[in-house]
Amino acid sequence: MPVSTPATAVIVGSGIVGAATAYFLTQHGVKVTLLDAVAPAAEATGAADGAVSVASKRPGPMMTAALSGVALYRELAATGLFSDIFKSRSTFIVAASNEECEVLHAHAAALAGAGVRVELLAAADVRQRFSALSTQARLVVEVHDEGHAIGYQIVHRFLTAAGVTVRRASPVRSILTGDGRCAAGVVTQDGEIRADIVIVAAGNGSAELLRLENVLTPRKGQLLVTERAPALNASMPGSIMSGRYLLSKGSQKGGVTVPRGLGLVIDPLRTGQFLIGGTREDHGSRQTNDLDAVGRILRHAVALVPKLASVRLLRSFAGLRTAVVDGLPLVGRIPGYENAFVATGFEGDGICLGPVVGRALASLACGAEPAIDLRPFAPSRFADHGVVA
C-alpha cells in the first residue's frame, strides 16, 4: 500500500472516470500521464444521456454513492468548475400501467428512505406543472435535486483544469510488473511507460487488460436527439423517466433486465432540443442504430409527450455501457498489486458517479481515506475470476 503520495501516475482510459481521477490526482500534486486507445470520451462517456441522478438507482451502495455523486456535481457547479455545464433539474418518474405503478410506489419509498426528496404528484398538479405530459400518466413521482451534464464536456473541463494532455491512439497492452507486488507502469505499442501507480479506467477495454471477460459485459444503448423545440422544451420542468426504465434497469429487487429492454428517458436539453433514449442490449456492437429500436423509442416518447410527434428527429447514435455480472462497479486495488487500481463497470451510472469515484480513487491511491465507501465495489470479490495477479 502506498504510504505516501506517489510522484507519478499512469492512467489507462480518458473517459469520465479516467479524466476525473487525473484531475483529483493532480490536486494531490501527482504528475499524471493519461493514455487512450482512441481519444478523450471516445467510448461510453461520449455516447451517454447524462442524467446526474439518484432516481433510478437500486437501493443500497449504488444509491448511497449516487447521492454523493450528485452532491459533488452541485459542489463543483457552485465553486465554478462545472458552473456552466451542470443543469440542475428534477426527474419525473411516470408510471402508465399497473406493473409500473407497483414498481414506482416501492421505488419512491426506497428513495425517500435514503433521504432523497421525492413527491407524489396529484393529477391536478401534474396537469398544472407538466401540461406536456399525456393523460396516460397514472402516477408521477418528482425526484428533486437532480441534474444533467454532457459527458464529453465534463471530461474536457477536468482535463483543462488539470493541465493534462491525453496521449491519443495509445492502446495499453498490459500492466508492467515490477518487484514483488508492485506494478512498474504499463506496456503500450510504443514501449513501456513507468510510473509509481497505475490506474485502469478503460471501460469495456478493462476486460481484456485484466482478463475479466467473464465479469464485464458490454451493454449497448441507442439514443436520439431532436431538433430544437423551445416552447415545448420550456414547458417541461425536468426530465421524464418512464416506469419501464426502472423495470429495464432492474432498479428494484426482482426487476428483470430483458435482452433488448427499452427504458424511456426524455431529457429537455439546455439547447432547446430533446435527448431521448434508450435501449439496453446485451452485446458489444455499437456501430449501428436500427429502425426497430428507433421506432420503439419514438412511439413510447410520443405516447408520454404527444407534442413530440411534431418535432423532427435530428440524429441517432449508440454507445456501450460496461456492465458487471453482479450489478455493482469495480473500484479499488487490483488483487495482486499494491499500487495498481481499477475503476470500471458503471453501466448506466458513470456520468453521475465518475467524478465522485475519481476523487475517491485519487484519495485511495495517495494513502488517504476516500470520501465514499468503496468496499462494496472491491475488485477482490472477483479475485477467483481471473483479475490479473
Q: Answer whether 12's CB lies under 8 Å from 208's CB.
A: no
38 touching ligand FAD, by CB under 6 A: yes
CA–CA dist 68, 331 (Å, integer): 15
Is the separation of the CB atoms in 367 and 343 below 8 Å? Answer: no
When asked if residue 250 is in the footprint of ligand FAD (CB under 6 A), the reply is no
Q: Which is nearer to ligand FAD, 142 or 281 (CB)?
A: 281
Render the burial of 46-75: b for 16+ CB within 10 Å, e for the rest.
bbbbbbbbbbbbbbebbbbbbbbbbebbbe
Helices (H) and strands (E) in the chain — how many of each?
10, 18
Residue 321 CA from chain centroid, whole number:
8
The length of the chain in residues reads 389
From residue 267 to residue 306, what is the string marking binding to ligand FAD with x (rule CB under 6 A)? ----------xx----------------------------
Dihedral Cα 160, 164, 165, 168, nearest 10 deg: -110
**Cβ–Cβ < 8 Å for 328, 45:** no
By C-beta, is 85 or 126 nearer to ligand FAD? 85
Among 26, 33, 45, 273, binds ligand FAD (CB under 6 A): 45
Q: Is 344 in the site for ligand FAD (CB under 6 A)?
A: yes
Q: Which of residues 304-323 bind ligand FAD (CB under 6 A)?
A: 319-321
Residue 209 within binding range of ligand FAD, rule CB under 6 A: yes
Stretch of residues binding ligand FAD (CB under 6 A), selected from 14-22, 84-92, 226-234, 381-389: 14-22
Which CB sits closer to ligand FAD, 118 or 330? Answer: 330
Segment interacting with ligand FAD, rule: CB under 6 A, options 6-14, 237-245, 305-313, 376-384: 6-14
> What are the Cα distances from residue 105, in Å, to 59, 99, 102, 109, 181?
14, 10, 5, 6, 49
Kindly tell me the sign of the dihedral angle through the C-alpha atoms of 376, 381, 382, 383.
positive
Interface residue with ligand FAD, options 6, 10, 11, 18 (CB under 6 A): 18
Q: Which is nearer to ligand FAD, 12 or 362 (CB)?
A: 12
The piece of 117-125, 302-310, 346-354, 362-370 that touches ligand FAD (CB under 6 A) is: 346-354
CB of 36 to ligand FAD, least distance (A): 5
212 touching ligand FAD, by CB under 6 A: no
Among 350, 355, 370, 379, binds ligand FAD (CB under 6 A): 350
Cα-flanking dihedrals φ and ψ of residue 130, to 5°? -135, 65
Give the helix/strand (H/E) hosting 101: helix 98-113
Burial class of 374 by CB neighbour count within 10 A (0 to 12, 13 to 18, 19+): buried
Smallest gap from Cβ 86 to ligand FAD, in A, equals 13
# residues contacting ligand FAD (CB under 6 A):
43
Beta carbon of residue 148, minimum distance to ligand FAD (angstroms, whole number):
8
Interatomic CA distance for residues 53 and 58, integer angstroms: 12
CA 197, CA 336: separation in Å to the nearest integer? Answer: 14
Residues in contact with ligand FAD, shown as a per-residue x/- string from 150 to 189 under the rule CB under 6 A: -x-------------------xx-----------------
| 202: contact with ligand FAD by CB under 6 A | yes
Q: How are strands ordered across the β-sheet holding 197-200?
A: 166-167, 31-35, 8-12, 197-200, 340-344, 330-333
Smallest distance, Å, CB 165 to ligand FAD? 15
Smallest distance from ligand FAD to CB 41, Å: 6
Q: Give the Cα separation of 158 and 165 in Å (integer).
A: 11
Site residues (vs ligand FAD, CB under 6 A): 12-18, 35-38, 42-45, 47-51, 151, 171-172, 201-203, 205, 209, 221, 223, 277-278, 319-321, 344, 346, 348-352, 354
